[in-house]
Chain A
Amino acid sequence: MNLELNVVHVYETLRTPVYQYLAASFGDPAEAEDMTQETFLRLYVHWASGKTIADDRLRSWIFRVAHNLAIDRTRGAKFIRELACEEYRSVVLQVPDSGKDPEETLLDRERFNAVRNGLALLSGQERRCLYLRAEGFCYREIAEILNITSSSVTEFLRRAMRKMAR
């Protein structure tokens, strides 16, 4: 039972970032939720079999499993989530302005448009590197999660920055 509680605790702590990463990087939120749960069930199986994970590697282990699950499920399919135009407009309009004046609000919207356009130009790996970096992972951890080298991570992020800055 302790093992289950431990898994539930990790799930409670990490399910949101894992889900957000999967949903934002790979697509369908419902599928992302399912994959998120599957990820933590695998953690249970891993621990139940007597294997261990160092505390400081647990987060990247979870993301790596989630990532591999997503890759397996989406192999061969173009599975990138884009905010549909209407959805995007509706979300942008609802963003609280935090007391900003109309001009600043307008500028914010312009910036969001630019980022959105930039994101549309990214490849899958560039996008994943970007979201993982946003989750706070260092390059070595990103490399482990995506099963690539650190220099590839640098290159993907550099390209992503260039496309976003256009």
Chain B
Amino acid sequence: MHSRFNCFRKDRDWHPDEGDLLLYLDGEQPSRKAARIRMHLEACWACRVRAEKTSQTISSFMDYRNRILLPSLPSAAEQTGRFESKLHALAMQTQANRPSWSTMLAGIRASSEKALRAPLVAVGVAAGLVLGLAVAASYVWSPTVNAQQLLAHASAIEEAHDNNRNVVLHRLLWLEKRRYNDKQVLLRRRIDVWHSGARGITARRVYDDSGKLVAGEWSERNGSSAVYERGVRPEIGTRDGIVPKVLNSPDDLWEYDLSASSFEGLAGATAHAQVDKQGNDYVVHYEPRDGSGNDRLLSAVLTVRKADFRAVALELTVREPESSGAPAGPGTPMVYSIVEASFEQRPALEVNPQVFQTDAEFLAPPPPTKQDDATADLQIETTYLLDQVGATLGQEVTATVGADHKLHVEGVLATESRRAQIIKALAPVRHNPDAVVNLITVAEALLRKRAEPSVMAKTEAPAERSSIPLFDALSQHFETETPSGSPVDVRAKIQRLSEQVLEDSGEAMRHAWVLKRLAGTLPPTEIGSLSETAHNEYLCMVAAHAQEVGERTEKLRLELDPIIFSKGASPGTAGEGRDTSPADMTLAVQQLFETASRNDAAIQSSFSVTTGQAAEGTAKVQEIQDSLLQAERLSKWLIHAANVSDCGLDSPRK
């Protein structure tokens, strides 16, 4: 107590300066001085206030830094993929150049130091130095690259790109098929590939010489894949067997990934591959050895860019398979090449989610085949039962007549309980000898891998968007509606509206798809020959889905009505006096599907981030309104034409 009192007396006229206080607050003062300042602050109000003021300044600065400055900086996250590419390139270069200059110089330095300690061997050191430089130069200027190592590095970079959640990859490729002997080009295709790391989805579209979309593949990270070709049932499976598939049917090469990892799968034992350096590229040559199992493959050549280790060209020389029917006959060598025309990485938020949606032309049902009345009735009844539990939406379950004239009910369900629900709903037809029911869960599909399908995302949830083409118009509306609202409130309202509008549009589209598939199930000429029950069920389904399309479309229009549409428009009635033959209904369904598709595309492009500008979005407003009204009219007409009263339309399906 005595010493403390003395200390206080001694420090009464001493006050720590700003630097001392700051060091003290930051814990940077030595312990004795810190103790002294602490005791002083206990006694001195003036210094305590100064210390508190410094603390407040620090607090204000940190608040500003965390809430204002740092949020204003663009995110660095999207650059990870680019960094990893650079790092791999550097690692590759470092390995190729080993022993590096630094290692060599370190060795030389060590030798020199030794030489200084032993002057007599200086001549030997000088000779060693010259030899060392020569060796180093030989490594630096003509490094040998190992194919396995090169492909492993390139694959690692590809994986980093593929998993980058912040960017979408877009590649344009050219596929060519040439005769080996005279180089005559027999086939040319353009391949457009989009890959989303965030969603793990790859959409691959193939166009012919005239630019017509001829095929497409939608695959997921888990390996599931759906291959579409015009007018053919989609081929659901996995990408596991892509290499044998391509070798057995090289015309399917468009499904193959132009990548180092795929090349590893194709070439198998890449230890036998050779690497040449050609200008800016590494060129990997592979020729299968006897007994490698690749009977058809004569050679494979992959070109990898040195700059970023990206595979940019692939050339396969293969023997034409016997089933090919090629004019030159089976066994004729053919050259297939895939060459990259362009590659870009786009910020994920700036890419229209539509690029990952399956194109409508692929979802159209294959042309109906003539079938007997019993199977037609069974198909309608089964579709009706599935429709009752909402399993026809999004093609969760399909019921189609196969080549064996039996009805195949197939689907991959998300859960066991959903499967049980659908099987229960199918009870009236499940034991029919003409029905083959094959419903599996996603978990089972994954276990089977090669066997049956996984679920393909036919539609994608709209990505988070930073702005939309109609942003200005919507902004103006909400600002006028609530003048005191903050920009944050307005953004939130626009976000909510966009989500609602996109959801309604998507729902209308789903029901329009069901209608289209339903109409494609039977030719109009056969609808009249259905049994009364089946006919009534058919009409009920048409009316129910038409009602859903109409209601969703009306809701959509009314949501947008006060904001961007001209007031007072109503759908009115549409051709209620028209003939209601099955052919007209089929035609109306087709028109409704086309109108709903147009509406959905317009809504997607207006309420999602696109490369288009606001002016473009607003220019479409009148067209959108007219088109929505048209969809409502067609829906009403279909309900009227179905002319059914006991379908329970007051409780529509979801």
Contacts and interface: CB of A to CB of B under 8 A. Distances in A.
Interface of A: 1, 3-4, 7-8, 11-12, 15-16, 19-20, 23-24, 29-30, 33, 36-37, 40-41, 44-45, 48-49, 83, 87-88, 90-96, 108, 111-112, 114-116, 118-119, 130-131, 133-134, 138-139, 154-155, 157-158, 161-162, 164-165
A158 B19 contact: yes
A115 B64 contact: yes
A44 B487 contact: no
A154 B23 contact: yes
Nearest to B487: A93
Contacts, number: 128
A91 B72 contact: yes
A96 B87 CA distance: 38
Interface string B81-106: 01110111011001000001011000
Given A24-B73, A158-B22, A45 B90 contact: yes
A37 to B, nearest CB: 5
**Residue of B53, B58, B73 ringed by the most chain A CB atoms within 10 A:** B73
B67 A164 contact: no
B529 interface: no
Interface SS, B side:
helix
Contacts of B64: 111-112, 115-116, 119
Contacts of A96: 488
A131 to B, nearest CB: 8
14 contacts: A29-B74, A36-B76, A44-B94, A49-B102, A88-B72, A90-B487, A91-B68, A94-B487, A111-B63, A111-B64, A115-B61, A139-B23, A154-B28, A155-B19
Contacts of B57: 161, 164-165
Contacts of A162: 18
Contact of A20 (B19, B27, B61, B73): B73
Contact of B60 (A7, A115, A134): A115
Contact of A92 (B23, B54, B65, B68): B68
B198 interface: no
Contacts of B19: 154-155, 158
B486 interface: yes
Interface of B: 18-19, 22-23, 26-28, 53-54, 57-58, 60-65, 67-74, 76, 79-80, 82-84, 86-88, 90-91, 94, 100, 102-103, 156, 486-488
A118 B315 CA distance: 64
A155 B72 CA distance: 29
B18 A114 contact: no
A142 to B, nearest CB: 10
Contact of A44 (B72, B82, B87): B87
Contacts of A157: 22, 26
B91 to A, nearest CB: 5
Contacts of B28: 138-139, 154
Given A33-B79, A37-B83, A134 B74 contact: no
A45 B94 CA distance: 8
B233 to A, nearest CB: 44
* Majority secondary structure, A binding face: helix
A8 B488 contact: no
A131 B71 CA distance: 15
A8 B69 contact: no
A4 B83 CA distance: 11
Contacts of A7: 87
Contacts of A139: 23, 26, 28
Contact of B103 (A49, A90, A94): A49
Given A4-B88, A138-B28, A23 B65 contact: no
Contacts of B103: 49
A155 B488 CA distance: 41
A108 B88 CA distance: 46
A112 B68 contact: yes
Given A45-B94, A91-B71, 15 more contacts: A8-B83, A15-B79, A15-B80, A16-B76, A20-B70, A29-B74, A41-B86, A108-B63, A111-B60, A111-B63, A116-B68, A154-B22, A161-B22, A161-B54, A164-B60
Contacts of A91: 68, 71-72
Contacts of B76: 15-16, 19, 33, 36
Nearest to B17: A158
Contacts of B71: 91
Interface core residue of A4, A7, A96, A108 (most chain B CB under 10 Å): A4
Nearest to B62: A134
A139 B18 CA distance: 16
Contacts of B53: 165
Contacts of A3: 91
Nearest to B78: A33
Nearest to A116: B64
Contacts of B62: 134
Nearest to A43: B87
Contacts of B23: 139, 154
Contact of A49 (B88, B100, B156): B100
Nearest to B66: A134
